[in-house]
Amino acid sequence: MTLRDRISSRLPRLPRIPRRGLWPYLLALGPGLLAASAGNDAGGIATYASAGALYGYGLLWAMVLVTICVGVVQEMSARLGAVTGKGFSDLVRENFSLRATAFILLSLLIANMGIIVSEFVGIAAAAELFGVSRYIAVPISAVLVWLLITRGSYQRVEQIFLTLSLVFLSYIGAAFLAKPDWGAVLYETVQPQITWSTDYLLLLIALIGTTISPYMQLYVQSSVVEKGVTPHEYRYTRFDVFIGTLFAGLVASFIIIATAATLFPSDRPLESATEAAQALRPVAGPYAELLFGIGLLGASLLAAGVLPLATTYMLSEALGIERGVSHSWDEAPVFNMIFTTLVVLGALFALVPGLPLIQVLIGVYVLNGVLLPISLITVMMLVNNRELMGNQVNGRFYNIFAWTITVVVSLLSLVMIGATVLEWFTA
Amino acid sequence: MLFLSTLLDQPVVGKSGEVIGRLEDLIVRMGDELFPPISGLVVRDWRRRFFVPVSHLLAFADDTRLSSLTVDLQPFARRDGEVLLRKDVLDHQLIDITGRRIVRVNDVQLAAVEGVYRVVGVDISPQALLRRLGPRSLAHRIVGRQIIGWADVQYLASAAPVQLRVSYDRLTELHPVDLARIVDALSYREGAEIVAALDDETAAETLEELSDERLAELLEGMDQERAADILEEMDPGAVADALEDLDKEIAEQLLAKMEPEDAADVQLSLSYDEDSAGRIMSTEFVRMPEGATVGDTFAYIQSMEEPPDPLLAVYVVAADNPDRLIGIVRLRNLILNSHDTPLTDLLDDHVPTVHPDDPAEDVARLLAEYNLLAAPVLDDDNRLVAIVTVDDAMAVLLPEIWQRRGSRAFR
């Protein structure tokens, strides 16, 4: 037997990860799926539920477009991470001026802090649906999230987050309980139509704004880096990003279907995801409410973990300190301290009695709207930088498509901000 | 003290005081010199960027003064061997050799040494960031610096998009464990750059300490001849673990490129399960025939090309059959006895042996319980094939070390 034969006869006995077929794709699932799922948080659910309640299936076609946009945006961030091996703020710091870096990161920090608060508010609301006091549910969730991130390795964190994202399936259940007219659903999905009213357009923009968020880009890039994805393995991660986006888009669509089948035509938008759940009860039965509530709790928990993590990645990269969930407290003290502060502050703010929540949340979304063009353009500039990406820059047609998305989404979110600010002055 | 941040974007003036443009960047030539000299300036005039050779530079004061009246405006283009201080150094990562860590450059210190401006150090203090962030007029009010001399840092050539010849001599001052920690924390490209700069032996020791996933990435990206050279220096068990994480074809090619002798050790290791004694055992140990004396043993060890490290005991085997273990003589007994003492007088009474298929954890426990420094490994036919030392067993008993190492893995 030649040396080569002997090696061959021995190696196959021990494969731990099959490197062929579907396996590597499944093992790569994580960063993209989680980032996209975290976008379906309490605020997102409320927007989707409102879309269904106000316009029936009329906005389903838009979800198709929005999902494609999210996929492109997320793919570019993931590619940046895989090719350069560096997180978003690492790259910003190395390629933009210090003042620009400080501006981008500081505004991201404020916006993310606001969203972290909103996630804990979402947990509180979901807990109260099940009759549990927020003063019990919020601290427990905060401790759970904290323990998971500070004690777990990256794989453990990812596994638990992935399991948690299964709760989104409950929305599909809720949609079926609502007994929609599937023929109409299919027809409206492929048949674009626009109602030319201000409310309709604003809701359309809100739909885009809640689905494409800067923190999702931050998270997907940083976790691709921490997972250790290389350019060589990038095709698996791209699959993860696209599957994740598709999943998130489907979940959002099913939320629209559930409320469209039951609450449409409603005369006013739903203020929160909780309200949507309660409204489902008389029409679709208690199980629909239960499923909606479980979905809300899971979604908020997931986002309450992902957001502080994304924000911590961002800060520690920019400051140049040791980072990563995979390191113990002693090895990454600053990383863990930032993370702890974010979780504690988020949970505390969510428990402040009499906090004008709606106003705070609107402020947060406006800030996110301002940030979205900034982060999109930053990513576009980085991903097209040949010095960083080599031949992995955007292809020509992909680039035209990506720039179109960037410009359109940026303009829309600026319109949204204009409308919101106008409302403040007229009210 | 002169700092890059105070010069950038300030006016560049000619001999008669006219403003030519603003300072965009400083060009530094990396080479064998400890403190790299500035070789030129990049001056920006509106949107045009042009190159000014350092010979035209008079001095850095509040502004940048040139000695010539007219500057021939060569458009600036990047050349190999040149590093731009603002673009490639400022805000980038370096390795702090004495601090054994990765730092980010918040400012660059310059100094005129015998008329030549050179890079002498980097400021890594947070105050330097604040100075650059705030208005220039307030910068001097923020005090505090943390400067690391340029001689104590390792610049990473992958930060610059041109070909560079950088000296990596300073890396040799770092212990492989620290090198591995740094390679793990850097991006793949930077890690590969560091490993490429190390000699085979240091590279092998560094790779042994890396996380499995990073190790597989590096091996796959490396030139195969070089990878094989490094693998030959590594512990066969570690190589076996690494090869299993690789694409099967690449693993086969690497094994085929290794010296047959080293490849055979790796194959042997591969034939045992991960987490078995077979994976942590070492085939490097000293065998002595039954009739030998202490003096013979010393002479033999001294004549060896590469005596085993650690050397904890010698293994006495039957004179007619070197595979049949008679007993063990500890190093201590060898040293304490005269040269003419026969080894058979010094044998340990009770020597527990292990089988290659035994779980590594059981072997580690056995060593701990019997206070042994090493245990011989006997195969199915009771032939002495290898030993397991307490060093290798430690890693099994201290799971947190493994956990940390495995943390980047996909599994």
Q: For residue A4, which residues of chain B lie inside 8 Å, CB to CB?
A: 252, 256
Task: Nearest by CB to A17, from B260, B403, B410: name it.
Answer: B410
Is the minimum CB–CB distance between B262 and chain A shorter than 8 Å?
A: no
- Please check whether residues B183 and B266 belong to one and the same domain: yes
- Please check whether residues B360 and B244 belong to one and the same domain: no
HEC profile of chain A: CCHHHHHHHHHHHCCCCCCCCCHHHHHHCCHHHHHHHHHCCHHHHHHHHHHHHHHHHHHHHHHHHHHHHHHHHHHHHHHHHHHHCCCHHHHHHHHCCHHHHHHHHHHHHHHHHHHHHHHHHHHHHHHHHCCCCHHHHHHHHHHHHHHHHHHCCHHHHHHHHHHHHHHHHHHHHHHHHCCCCHHHHHHHHHCCCCCCCHHHHHHHHHHHHHHCCHHHHHHHHHHHHHHCCCHHHHHHHHHHHHHHHHHHHHHHHHHHHHHHHHHCCCCCCCCCHHHHHHHHHHHHCHHHHHHHHHHHHHHHHHHHHHHHHHHHHHHHHHHCCCCCCCCCCCCCHHHHHHHHHHHHHHHHHHHCCCCCHHHHHHHHHHHHHHHHHHHHHHHHHHHCCHHHHHHHCCCHHHHHHHHHHHHHHHHHHHHHHHHHHHHHHHC
In a domain, B403, yes or no: no
Does residue A377 or residue B138 have the better pLDDT?
A377
Under an 8 A CB cutoff, do A98 and B270 touch? Answer: no
Where residue B34 sits, what CATH number does that domain have? Answer: 2.30.30.240
Q: For residue B274, which residues of chain A lie inside 8 Å, CB to CB?
A: 14, 16
The count of domains in chain B is: 3
B76 DSSP 8-state letter: P
- Please check whether residues B111 and B230 belong to one and the same domain: no
Where residue B354 sits, what CATH number does that domain have? Answer: 3.10.580.10
- Please check whether residues B313 and B215 belong to one and the same domain: no
Under an 8 A CB cutoff, do A85 and B187 touch? Answer: yes
Under an 8 A CB cutoff, do B133 and A102 touch? Answer: yes
Average pLDDT over residues A294-311: 86
Q: What is the pLDDT of residues B20-48, one digit of tens each?
A: 888 889 999 887 788 999 988 888 888 88
B288 and B314 Cβ atoms separated by less than 8 Å: yes
Q: Which of A223, A326, A330 to mutate to test the interface with B (most CBs of B within 10 A)?
A: A326
Task: Nearest by CB to B267, from A6, A16, A19: name it.
Answer: A6
Question: What local confidence, expressed as pLDDT, does residue B69 receive?
Answer: 59
- Please check whether residues B203 and B307 belong to one and the same domain: no
Please give the full DSSP string across B308-332, using - where no structure is assigned. -SS--EEEEE-SS-TTSEEEEEEHH
**Residue A328, pLDDT above cutoff 70:** no
In a domain, B88, yes or no: yes
Average pLDDT over residues B129-143: 82
- Could you report the predicted ipTM of this complex, rounded to two decimals? 0.73
Task: Nearest by CB to B189, from A7, A85, A94: name it.
Answer: A85
Q: Which of B120, B154, B188 is the last residue of a domain?
A: B154
The nearest alpha carbon in chain B to A323 belongs to B185
Nearest-Cα distance to chain A for B339, in Å, is: 44
Question: What local confidence, expressed as pLDDT, does residue B409 receive?
Answer: 31
- Please check whether residues B262 and B295 belong to one and the same domain: no
In total, chain A counts a number of residues equal to 427
The nearest alpha carbon in chain B to A3 belongs to B256
Give residue B149's domain range: 2-154
Under an 8 A CB cutoff, do B244 and A327 touch? Answer: no
Q: For residue B275, which residues of chain A lie inside 8 Å, CB to CB?
A: none
Q: Which of B121, B154, B187 is the last residue of a domain?
A: B154
Average pLDDT over residues B386-398: 78
Task: Nearest by CB to B132, from A98, A153, A228: name it.
Answer: A98
pLDDT band at A6 (very low <50, low <70, confident <90, very high): very low
The span from the CA of B138 to the CA of B315, in Å, is: 73
Which structural domains are found in chain A, ordered by start? 28-385+393-426 (1.20.1740.10)
Does residue B165 or residue A72 have the better pLDDT?
A72
Question: What local confidence, expressed as pLDDT, does residue A75 receive?
Answer: 94
Which range (A327-341, A386-400, B122-136, B173-187) has the least confidence? Answer: A327-341
Under an 8 A CB cutoff, do B407 and A320 touch? Answer: no
**Residue A77, pLDDT above cutoff 90:** yes
A&B contacts, CB < 8 Å: 108
- Please check whether residues B16 and B137 belong to one and the same domain: yes
Question: What local confidence, expressed as pLDDT, does residue A196 receive?
Answer: 78
In a domain, B257, yes or no: yes
- Please check whether residues B241 and B360 belong to one and the same domain: no
Task: Nearest by CB to A16, from B263, B404, B411: name it.
Answer: B411
Question: What local confidence, expressed as pLDDT, does residue A17 receive?
Answer: 47
**Residue B382, pLDDT above cutoff 80:** yes
Percent of chain A with pLDDT over 90: 15
In a domain, B185, yes or no: yes
Output the six-digit token pair for B223: 């030139």
Question: What local confidence, expressed as pLDDT, does residue B119 receive?
Answer: 92
Q: Which of A44-53, A315-324, B327-336 has the highest mean pLDDT?
A: B327-336
pLDDT band at B288 (very low <50, low <70, confident <90, very high): very high
pLDDT band at A250 (very low <50, low <70, confident <90, very high): very high
Question: What local confidence, expressed as pLDDT, does residue A358 receive?
Answer: 66
Question: What local confidence, expressed as pLDDT, does residue B297 receive?
Answer: 92
pLDDT band at A330 (very low <50, low <70, confident <90, very high): low
Beta strand B11-13 with B19-29 is antiparallel
Q: Which of B187, B268, B276 to mutate to test the interface with A (most CBs of A within 10 A)?
A: B187
Is the minimum CB–CB distance between B267 and chain A shorter than 8 Å?
A: yes
Q: Which of B247, B271, B295 is the last residue of a domain?
A: B271
Question: What local confidence, expressed as pLDDT, does residue B403 receive?
Answer: 41
Question: What local confidence, expressed as pLDDT, does residue A322 receive?
Answer: 55
Question: What local confidence, expressed as pLDDT, does residue A275 receive?
Answer: 76
Is the minimum CB–CB distance between B91 and chain A shorter than 8 Å?
A: yes
Question: What local confidence, expressed as pLDDT, does residue A427 receive?
Answer: 66
In a domain, B336, yes or no: yes
pLDDT band at A11 (very low <50, low <70, confident <90, very high): very low
- Please check whether residues B266 and B294 belong to one and the same domain: no
Q: What is the pLDDT of residues A254-284, one digit of tens each?
A: 988 988 888 777 777 777 777 777 777 777 7
Q: For residue A84, which residues of chain B lie inside 8 Å, CB to CB?
A: 187, 189
- Please check whether residues B11 and B136 belong to one and the same domain: yes
pLDDT band at A3 (very low <50, low <70, confident <90, very high): very low
A181 and A261 Cβ atoms separated by less than 8 Å: yes
Give Cα B152 distance to the centre of its chain: 16
Q: What is the pLDDT of residues B190-211, one digit of tens each?
A: 888 899 889 999 999 899 888 7
**Residue A12, pLDDT above cutoff 50:** no
B397 and B361 Cβ atoms separated by less than 8 Å: yes
Task: Nearest by CB to B408, from A86, A98, A326: name it.
Answer: A326
Question: What local confidence, expressed as pLDDT, does residue A401 receive?
Answer: 92
Is the minimum CB–CB distance between B368 and chain A shorter than 8 Å?
A: no
Q: What is the pLDDT of residues A141-186, one digit of tens each?
A: 999 988 888 777 777 778 888 888 888 888 888 888 878 888 888 8
Which range (A294-303, A360-369, B298-307) has the least confidence? Answer: A360-369
Q: What is the pLDDT of residues B209-259, one digit of tens each?
A: 887 778 888 888 888 899 999 999 888 888 888 888 787 888 888 888 888
Percent of chain B with pLDDT over 90: 13
- Please check whether residues B14 and B143 belong to one and the same domain: yes
In a domain, B326, yes or no: yes
Where residue B217 sits, what CATH number does that domain have? Answer: 1.25.60.10
Q: What is the pLDDT of residues A367-421, one digit of tens each?
A: 777 788 888 999 999 999 988 888 888 989 999 999 999 999 888 888 877 877 8
Q: What is the pLDDT of residues A187-238, one digit of tens each?
A: 888 888 877 777 787 788 888 878 888 888 888 998 888 777 878 788 888 9
Residues of A with CB under 8 A from a CB of B: 3-4, 6-8, 10-12, 14-17, 19, 27, 84-86, 93-94, 98-99, 101-102, 153-155, 225-228, 230, 232, 319-320, 322, 324, 326-328, 331, 387
Question: What local confidence, expressed as pLDDT, does residue A55 receive?
Answer: 86
In a domain, B122, yes or no: yes
Is the minimum CB–CB distance between B186 and chain A shorter than 8 Å?
A: yes
Q: What is the pLDDT of residues B346-376, one digit of tens each?
A: 888 778 889 988 888 888 888 888 888 888 9
Q: For residue A10, which residues of chain B lie inside 8 Å, CB to CB?
A: 267, 270-271
Percent of chain B with pLDDT over 70: 95
Question: What local confidence, expressed as pLDDT, does residue B303 receive?
Answer: 92
Question: What local confidence, expressed as pLDDT, does residue B121 receive?
Answer: 92
In a domain, B134, yes or no: yes
Under an 8 A CB cutoff, do A232 and B220 touch? Answer: yes
The span from the CA of B133 to the CA of B127, in Å, is: 10
Average pLDDT in chain A: 81
Residues 188-217 of B with CB under 8 A from A: 188-190, 211, 213-214, 217
- Please check whether residues B135 and B80 belong to one and the same domain: yes
